[in-house]
Amino acid sequence: MDTLSGLAVGFQTVLQPINLLFCFVGVFIGTLIGVLPGIGPIGAMSVLLPTTFGISPAAAVIMLGGIYYGAMYGGSTTSILVNIPGEAASVVTCLDGYQMARRGRAGPALGISALASFVGGTFSIIALMFLVLPLNQVALRFGPPEYFSLICMAMTFVTYVASKSMIKSIIMILVGMMLGTVGMDSFTATHRFTFGSASLSDGIGLIPVAMGLFGISEVLMNLRQTGARSILNAKLKNLLPNLDDWKRSIAPIIRGSFIGFFLGILPGGGAVLASFVSYSVEKKVSKHPETFGQGAIEGVAGPETANNAGAGGSFVPLLAMGIPTTPTMGLLLAALIIHGVTPGPLMFGQHPEIFWGVIASMYIGNVMLLILNLPLIGLWVKLLKVPYRILMPLILLFCLIGAYSVNNNPVDVITVIIFGIVGYVLRRYDYEGAPLILAFLLGPMLETALRRSLIISGGKFSIFVHSPISAVLLSVSALLFISAGFSAYGKAKTKLAENIDIET
């Protein structure tokens, strides 16, 4: 099946009334989640994943995917009007977006944000459509050694781009891998770390863990915040940018599209890294870098394009190779597996309606998002005024109901509460939950690939360097790890020298 005929199958799938409805529901909820600060797409997808059990796999993935890239759109609204990012990828938008709003240019800031997001999202879909098939053919050549090395590189990338401490990120990855080993060994059928509990024989469920780490912990974190949110009361007018705004924004939008998409493909990259890199690039190439942070429209256009392009790029390794590069893609992987679909090289032939349906739904979803974001900005502003004392108990209720509904098992409710408390403690001490979730998903895949490789080679580890692809991937992992180590050592040395100077 070629690209055009595949796309025709995809549109035939997504234009079915029920799939079209779930596409709209996904992007609407995604925008809502992006607008309301603190919840984030991971928490929303974790809470809503159990609701997809009664629908088709195509509808489930279309809705969950819509939540992810929809949150990229909605996150800019709070960044510009409240100076609080709706989700992590919109942190950079606060720098210039809020300053534009303070100068009475909230309308153009929101307008260029929505239009740049549309361009970035559309570019990523077109690139995804033409790049995923060649990668799919390459993935067919992958065996256990290559998959082991690829997963190693993915985890190394997560450590390399960690926003917090590298050591803390490594600890979270190790904890996630340990949690992934709980349950029955798929090779020997022996129980591991179950402590005699029948409830743990099938392992710890992803949904309760994710709900606890990102849903319950968010509620607990917000209980500590007593200050009220200050919403800018400026009138929203002239949403469409003027000619000068477009002249200044065209180049950042083009650069942001390429930066976002290709960084989105990288393990551990995604929309967050893409938005930061885009902002840095725009500041370096600008003739007036001093205007950044003071309300430069380029500081809104570039990052907003990049984070939406990055969201689309994240789908490439998931659909082509079955490897999630971000926690949100990990939840999509879990949704596919729950519905009996294994993403990767064989998905293209076995489930073309899902493979192409997801891509086609992103075209339609991006149009829906553009329609939702520009005319309904007034509605989103009113939603920002919903008190947390109303919002957070509802999130807590949805988390507990969602966890129980997966298996109708009270143990899952206990798991959610435990990981909610654990997530709260981790966040208090600057430990990130994202590496833990990603390692929790990739850990069993890593172990399976390792053990199969050793069975093939008769226990010889040299199999990982005999394959050229595996050797290259491991070399990249080693270089990244060494580079991150030198960087951490340099920062520690500089900090120590500064402390000595202060004492003397």
pLDDT value, residue 1 = 57
Confidence grade of residue 24 (pLDDT, cut at 50, 70, 90) = very high
Residue 233 has pLDDT above 60, yes or no: no
Q: pLDDT at position 354, please?
A: 85
Residue 413 has pLDDT above 80, yes or no: yes
DSSP state of 185: -
Contact between residue 184 and residue 390 where contact means Cβ atoms under 8 Å apart: no
pLDDT score for 47: 75
Query: How many Cβ atoms from other residues are within 10 Å of residue 202's Cβ?
Result: 12
Check residue 21 and give its pLDDT. Answer: 92
Q: Which of 245-259, 316-330, 371-385, 406-420 comes out lowest in average pLDDT?
A: 371-385
Classify residue 234 by burial, with Cβ atoms within 10 Å: 0-12, 13-18, 19+.
middle
- For 159, the 3-state DSSP assignment is helix
Which of 403, 16, 13 minimizes the C-alpha distance to 210?
A: 403
Q: How many CB atoms lie within 10 A of CB 15?
A: 14
pLDDT of residue 501: 63
Q: Where are the domains of the chain?
A: 3-503
Identify the H or E element spanning 354: helix 352-373
Q: Does 381 score more than 80 pLDDT?
A: no
The CA distances from residue 327 to 270, 412, 504, in Å, are: 10, 20, 46
> Residue 269: what pLDDT?
58
CB 181 within 8 A of CB 447: yes
Q: Please give the Cα distance from 479 to 212 (Å, whole number).
A: 34
- Share above pLDDT 70 across residues of the chain, in percent, rounded to a whole number: 86
CA-wise closest residue to 346 among 140, 169, 60: 140
Coil vs helix vs strand at 48: helix
DSSP E strands: which ranges in 254-387?
none
Residue 224 predicted with pLDDT over 80: no
Tell me the C-alpha to C-alpha distance, in Å, between residue 29 and each of 6, 63, 86, 134: 28, 9, 13, 33
Instruction: Enter the tokens of residue 375.
Output: 């005319």
Q: Which residue has the higher pLDDT, 81 or 299?
A: 299
Per-residue CA distances from 144 to 374, 448, 455 (Å): 48, 8, 10
Distance (Å, whole) CA 201 – CA 197: 7
Give mean pLDDT, residues 44-60: 81
**Range from 143-147, 173-177, 224-228, 258-262 carrying the lowest mean pLDDT:** 224-228
Closest CA to 30 of 14, 43, 19, 17: 43
Q: Determine what percent of the chain is predicted with pLDDT higher than 90.
A: 3
Which pLDDT tens digit goes with each residue over 390-411? Answer: 767 777 777 777 677 666 778 8
Q: How far is CA 326 from CA 85, 118, 270, 434, in A?
A: 19, 22, 7, 8
- Of 192, 248, 86, residue with least CA distance to 443: 192
Contact 70, 27 (CB under 8 A): yes
Least confident of 127-136, 179-188, 240-249, 353-362: 127-136
Residue 479 has pLDDT above 60, yes or no: yes
Three-state SS at 409? coil
Confidence of residue 376 (pLDDT cuts 50, 70, 90): confident
308 phi/psi in degrees, rounded to 5: -75, -35
Of the two residues 348 and 364, the one the predictor is more confident about is 364
Q: What is the pLDDT of residue 18?
A: 92
pLDDT of residue 162: 60
Mean predicted confidence (pLDDT) in 150-168? 74
Structure tokens at 385: 């005024």
Helices within 140-242 (DSSP H only) = 144-160, 166-180, 206-210, 217-223
Q: Give me the numbers of helices (H) and strands (E) for the chain, helices first please.
A: 23, 2
What gap in Å lies between CA 232 and CA 99, rounded to an integer?
A: 11
3-state secondary structure 274-287: HHHHHHHHHHHHCC
Q: How many other β-carbons are positioned within 10 Å of the β-carbon of residue 494?
A: 10
The gap from C-alpha 147 to its chain's centroid, in whole angstroms, comes to 21
Q: How far apart are CA 321 and CA 400, in angstroms?
A: 33
Q: Indicate the average pLDDT of the chain.
A: 80
- Give helix 298-313 / helix 57-81 axis angle, nearest 10°: 160
- Residue 184 forms beta bridges with which residues? 191
Q: Using an 8 Å Cβ cutoff, are 401 and 413 in contact? A: no
